[in-house]
Structure 1
Amino acid sequence: MTLASAALLTLPLSGAAFADARPQPAATAKAPQPTHSNPVTPTVTQDQWVKGRDDARRFALEVSVDPDRVRAGDSYDVTIAAKGLRSGTAVVTSPEGKSYRVTLSDGEATKTLTVPSKTKPGSKTVTVKVGNKTATASFDVVAPRPQRHRDHDGK
């Protein structure tokens, strides 16, 4: 048998195999539809949401520290004023990196912090974040009060 005759024998067989391989229609699937008949009513309308979002962008954030010179080991107050914001939460971050959550009442709050007694003198910064706004206030740390040593007889 020659090469040409072998090709003629296999060609009809392979062609028959492809003759039955007609394209079949693809199956389609539908996503299940919700069956509840009572739609959920949103608690906030689109208009209220937009107004709230706009109000949150329109407030002014101010932060101050009192006193502005603090001895190592003493306390100081961080005063927060979010003008134009009635309520919310502020995050106060100390110069040492500790964060504290403070609730605003009528847009204001105060947090008392303490400078660690081993803090070296120099300028320090407190950071406050409310929503998408951040403000800072700086103050100076001064050396701690000198310790008085008592004699052995209590004087």
Structure 2
Amino acid sequence: MRFAKPFVVTLAGAAVLALPLSGAALADARQPQPAATAKAPQPTHSNPTVPQDQLAMGRDGVRAASLKVSVDPGRVRADGSYEVTIAAKGLRSGTAIVTSPEGKSYRVALSGGSATKTLTVPSKAKPGSETVTVKVGNKVTTAAFEVVGARKQQRDDHRHEAK
């Protein structure tokens, strides 16, 4: 009997300690409690250290500006090259994405708000109107040009004549 009392006290003490740790003492089956949530502070645009020209720019650094694209020459032979000229007014630097009529995309670095990219019309391109698409930030614009047939190869029979 002299071991029974310390044994019972030890078991009761362990149960008292284990019950709050098991979570059963805190459970309320009728109504679950909402979990605490924390919200990140939202940025404000009233920061006096940010210049007004940066506040006018969007998330990707593109100001509400104009984007112009042109293709030179306006008529290109199949297997010929043409130059895409990009002018992004209100933007000093950044990247433009030029998409050819065939669907190939090229990244072009803007310098001083402008850039050029030389592309080639495939040799098997059919005559007709084609369009180049340029995207700078959230602005997208296009430029059209005309593809004309490839030069017909001239026969060079006089070189192969027997002498």
TM-score (normalizing by structure 2): 0.64
SS at match of 1:153: helix
- Structure 1 residue 73 and structure 2 residue 79: aligned? yes
Cα RMSD, aligned residues only: 2.9
Shift of 1:153: 3.4
1:124 to 112, 130, 138: 130
- Structure 1 residue 111 and structure 2 residue 117: aligned? yes
Q: Which amino acid aligns with 1:71?
A: R
- Structure 1 residue 92 and structure 2 residue 98: aligned? yes
* Over 4 Å off, 4+ runs: none
2:89 to 66, 83, 94: 83
Write out per-residue CA displacement over residues 93-145 of structure 1, whole angstroms, 9 at most, x where no aligned residue. Answer: 00000000000000000000000010000000000000000000000000011
- Between the aligned partners of 1:77 and 1:132, the Cα distance in structure 2 is 23
Give 5+ residue unaligned stretches, structure 2: 1-23, 28-34, 38-46
Q: Which amino acid aligns with 1:118?
A: K
Instruction: Tell me: CA distance 1:101–1:24, structure 2 relative to 1, closer, same or farther (3 Å).
Output: same
Write out per-residue CA displacement over residues 24-56 of structure 1, whole angstroms, 9 at most, x where no aligned residue. Answer: 335xx999xxxxxxxxxxxxx784664442862
Shift of 1:58: 1.4
- Between the aligned partners of 1:30 and 1:73, the Cα distance in structure 2 is 65
Q: Which amino acid aligns with 2:123?
A: S
- The aligned residue for residue 150 of structure 2 is 144
What percent identity do the matched residue pairs reach?
A: 63
Shift of 1:57: 3.5
- Between the aligned partners of 2:36 and 2:134, the Cα distance in structure 1 is 51
SS at match of 1:56: coil
Shift of 1:154: 4.2
Give 5+ residue unaligned stretches, structure 1: 1-22, 32-44
- The aligned residue for residue 25 of structure 1 is 26
Instruction: Tell me: CA distance 1:115–1:50, structure 2 relative to 1, closer, same or farther (3 Å).
Output: same
- Between the aligned partners of 1:92 and 1:30, the Cα distance in structure 2 is 48
